[in-house]
Structure 1
């Protein structure tokens, strides 16, 4: 007799997922097909490229889950213009499980004089990532290193594929790099090889704090996938989480989390992103995210002994801020209605009203954290 039969709980007839077309749909179908075969439940995966719509559909209960990256969920919660619909904006979003992870960092040649981030000095040559003199990812690096942008020598690459070669042939000292990319793999094999600049927020929290003042959503963690020289070195880290709404049935989210965890071996090789759908990746992200966990996920983590008092404190803080934004947004809509202001991203009066309400209420922005 199965655990479901003992408890009397049954999977619903259908489990609807809304995902970005292409890779998002492919990932959801890869594990969703196994879930369907195991449970007899129809897992319906629909495609929608507009993340505004995806989150609105989940908020309104049309779909159970969607993947939410840190930047987009923050934009929804603060109701940036694209999200500022009457039935959009902040809703009681909750974490259901992890979906994917990506790492990035900064490389120098293995024989470079630059050993640590504090070896970046005025005159250091950095590869431009765009026509602009700098970019947000370099801004946070320089804030950590305590070097001004105008003190850097910016090297223009010949084309989009020339950023890493510019370091390897000596035209530049440092470049932003993706450890899983083909140019980085080629550089790894090219003498003298490459070295990664450590962004260890645990050892240098003050430096990380300066970086987060530039980008409050950035995370730092050891690189877990890519060329051998990158593994274990701290870089930037982004984890996409499967999100749902607080009103989603607790038993459903509990059993989904339990199934995804216990059956990972069945679907991990069906898509390259599935390697990150583990409890280890999830628990690591819970140290950093501003998103609250769904009660069903909390219940499962409690059973595993992975939910601590520190998690519970962070949970309360996260819920409180999400609720403040939700209540403020609903109240702003009431004010707009009283003043006959159209509530729409196309309404300048509505957008100005919402911004003024956020300032008047002193709503703090969402940000990631170094740890619990």
Structure 2
């Protein structure tokens, strides 16, 4: 296929193969752009972002500055937001495009001083970006309102969703719950456990798929919570798994639930819909926009009572689960594919030419 459009450099922190929604988005966009004939070169920026050691940040800046003048550079927001005033220097020689999955300063559990420092850094960096690509309308509004970014600079490119082969799920006397997300405070597993501890009179099991090493303290607190409430034999942490293994967890689940405090989009929710699962979720505007009525129950933010009620409804009523599952399958057909997402991303790049 002939190359089209200006080549781009995609700069990212850490390991791009990390099995999270954000890195998954990056990988699929890169793949889609390449499949469409666009040249995409990768530039690793090092570990530790958004709080890199000084030497790591210096090396990341050096790598960017050694690129040919005038390079078009897409930088994942996990790194870009930490670059602050350095972005002004980088913008003198390159076209900078920020890919913001969610504002870094809104991460749950940050000390106020740290959040304020990140907010200042993110604003300084975004002010120097030629364009800002976000993954949901809700995040677009946050970037505009929190950082004062111009509306014309902000472009929404929704994540894609793979169409899944769905097999009929057998009737069960013990519904299998599934949650997918890194073990960090923002994902609200403590809230989910609070709701489930009041439903121990009902049969259920919960599988949790997500990296348990990102926040060791959070993971230990959650394990202690399970032991203290007699839930340890009903809940299994499986750690991070590759995409091909994750499909198996969706296939054997009966209900998907994630009690996030905040999400920039929530790819796991749409993946669950694509696998024909009833969805229970929370996490602010982006999640509320994503969850379709009839296929999902939105529970607000940190509302354990609503979360418990939704779980109770779907655990007790197999017919309701079936109706939600059918609605999920229908709703998934309207979701953008990853090819759609790559085309939309490419269109933003073309508009900047």
Same fold (TM over 0.5): no
Name which structure has the greater RCO, CA cutoff 8 Å, separation 6+: 1
Greater Cα radius of gyration, structure 1 or 2: 1
